Structure 1
């Protein structure tokens, strides 16, 4: 199913590339856009995880450099019955995490230092189990490709304003419309594939960690700060926001995630408890926090 979704996504984004190319450069522009899209599709399939990690300035850690965090991910990967992913830390105060890679054999998971400093050990385990749920469900290919291709669409729409010329130059009003609509079109494609995916990863995370309440508590605790303090990477490329466990944009219309309250309710239902969101506990430094004084 995810393979079909990936093919449909690539076809839709390629068509959007060609439409923008035709708008800004006629038939020749559409041909160039098709060639560019084909190259982008190949590049993102094989290297999108590296691009995403570089975008976040993520640094790889291991059992020597981050023993508690790495050990936690290793234990969760064992429970999930998937290969051990590469593990990364992102020096960013925004509390969030993501998974990337084209398949479970080539996966990576990352958490921000803000997330590790805000959550308890059990909550971090719930968050990372969610990300490993994405890996196990094979969501990461489509998530990673969307983050890179949708960002490229925004870039080409903006470049088109400056590189059209002569009879091929679009009407200024049409060009301005394209600049605003191309990113929205890419986000609409994301919406069509993303929201049920998050519920699935939440269920998998609850199963892998064995603690749906801890994951629900983590979501309740980090949703507000992530909105108020979006990551540096998502500010530069808004399409990167769909990678994260909680979104960093306010508008639910264009959010790639279900409302956090609905996700919390679903998790609490898994535990058989009332669906009221768990009250966020006072912030305390996790033993996983790399900045914690030992």
Structure 2
């Protein structure tokens, strides 16, 4: 997968796959809207009582509001694109640096960009001990790489260069833009899903209201209950599948970004060594989960690894060993003194 002749093929294939997954997210959003329309007809309005009539009326409602839903989601995504860097910087509390106050990182970043004819992204430092990094921005004037103080202190020059190359690959491949769309769309679906769940669990009076309606409407109570169950099923499917798609988008991109780092630096061992140093240490306290999903590592363990946005460090290292010519065990002397391959 990571061999040089196949890297760009995998990048293009991943872009097509990501486009399909993003389209799937929007389909799930309409499925969620349909479920809400059914729930409204069957529960709040009462509908006509017949299951088929409730579904038919709900579908008409959904078709009527579909344009408004599309415009609303598009506006939400546009606002996210415009404000994402500002919100991230405000949320994390990072500060912008330049050659004068971060010469080592700035020099390595500039050299990598010159080697590929790229403009140099902004560089920011987050003053926390956890070793981690992330790329942000959806337009060239927004592109930013943020490094933590813990990462700068933990890595040597070759390892830091590999991490910067990893984040540059995310920018080159448009990963940040794709993940921003995913975060924004899934955020709406998750918010509505959790809101409905809380309403159902914390408002037993609504269930009593439904029961009283069923009692007063002998002919349509069964249809109304069936419609409510179908609506809840649609909502749960949309909610859970949106999370699965978000995970699928993130995991694949980390492997390709690791491969891109090797392609830029010609030094798989530096990437492996950097990953080993940050393994299970990258959790940044006080930042939202959406920020951690953008990071070099988003540590999870045990059962929670099934729902992690990143593949485990062990799997990423294994891929670098199998496909990029890296060494499974790197002696300290070799890691520090070995020159990059030509």
1:122 aligned partner? 158
- State how far apart, in whole Å, the 2-side matches of 1:148 and 1:53 are: 17
Determine if the alignment matches structure 1 residue 38 to structure 2 residue 74. Answer: yes
Structure 1: where are the runs of 5+ without partners?
282-294
- State how far apart, in whole Å, the 1-side matches of 2:267 and 2:174 are: 22
Within 5 Å, give how 1:181-196 maps onto structure 2: 184-196=240-252
Q: Residues 44 and 277 from structure 1, CA distance in 2 versus in 1: closer, same or farther, beyond 3 angstroms?
A: farther
- State how far apart, in whole Å, the 1-side matches of 2:190 and 2:332 are: 37
Within 5 Å, give how 1:245-284 maps onto structure 2: 245-250=296-301, 251-269=304-322, 272-274=325-327, 276-278=328-330
| Structure 1 counterpart of 2:95, from 46, 59, 74 | 59
Determine if the alignment matches structure 1 residue 78 to structure 2 residue 114. Answer: yes
- State how far apart, in whole Å, the 1-side matches of 2:102 and 2:33 are: 46
- State how far apart, in whole Å, the 1-side matches of 2:330 and 2:234 are: 43
CA radius of gyration, larger in:
2
Structure 2: where are the runs of 5+ without partners?
1-11, 41-57, 211-226, 334-342
- State how far apart, in whole Å, the 2-side matches of 1:67 and 1:145 are: 33
More displaced 10-residue stretch of structure 1: 88-97 or 211-220: 88-97
For residue 269 of structure 1, report the CA deviation from its aligned partner.
4.4
For residue 37 of structure 1, report the CA deviation from its aligned partner.
1.6
Q: State the secondary structure of the residue aligned to 2:281.
A: helix
2:48 aligned partner? none
For residue 85 of structure 1, report the CA deviation from its aligned partner.
0.7
Within 5 Å, give how 1:97-108 maps onto structure 2: 97-104=133-140, 106-108=142-144
Within 5 Å, give how 1:76-225 maps onto structure 2: 76-104=112-140, 106-160=142-196, 161-162=198-199, 184-225=240-281
For residue 202 of structure 1, report the CA deviation from its aligned partner.
1.0
Contact 1:58 1:91 in 2 (8 A): yes
Q: Residues 5 and 107 from structure 1, CA distance in 2 versus in 1: closer, same or farther, beyond 3 angstroms?
A: farther
For residue 154 of structure 1, report the CA deviation from its aligned partner.
2.6
Q: How many residues are paired up? A: 274
1 or 2 for the larger relative contact order (CA 8 Å, sep ≥6)? 2
- State how far apart, in whole Å, the 2-side matches of 1:217 and 1:59 are: 27
After superposition, give the CA deviation of every residue in 1:80-120 in whole Å (9 maximum; x if it has no partner). 33111111122333221111222556421111122222222
- State how far apart, in whole Å, the 1-side matches of 2:183 and 2:132 are: 16
For residue 183 of structure 1, report the CA deviation from its aligned partner.
5.8
After superposition, give the CA deviation of every residue in 1:157-184 in whole Å (9 maximum; x if it has no partner). 33344599888xx979x879968x7664
Within 5 Å, give how 1:11-50 maps onto structure 2: 11-24=23-36, 26=40, 33-50=69-86
- State how far apart, in whole Å, the 2-side matches of 1:279 and 1:54 are: 40
- State how far apart, in whole Å, the 2-side matches of 1:104 and 1:127 are: 20
- State how far apart, in whole Å, the 2-side matches of 1:39 and 1:224 are: 37
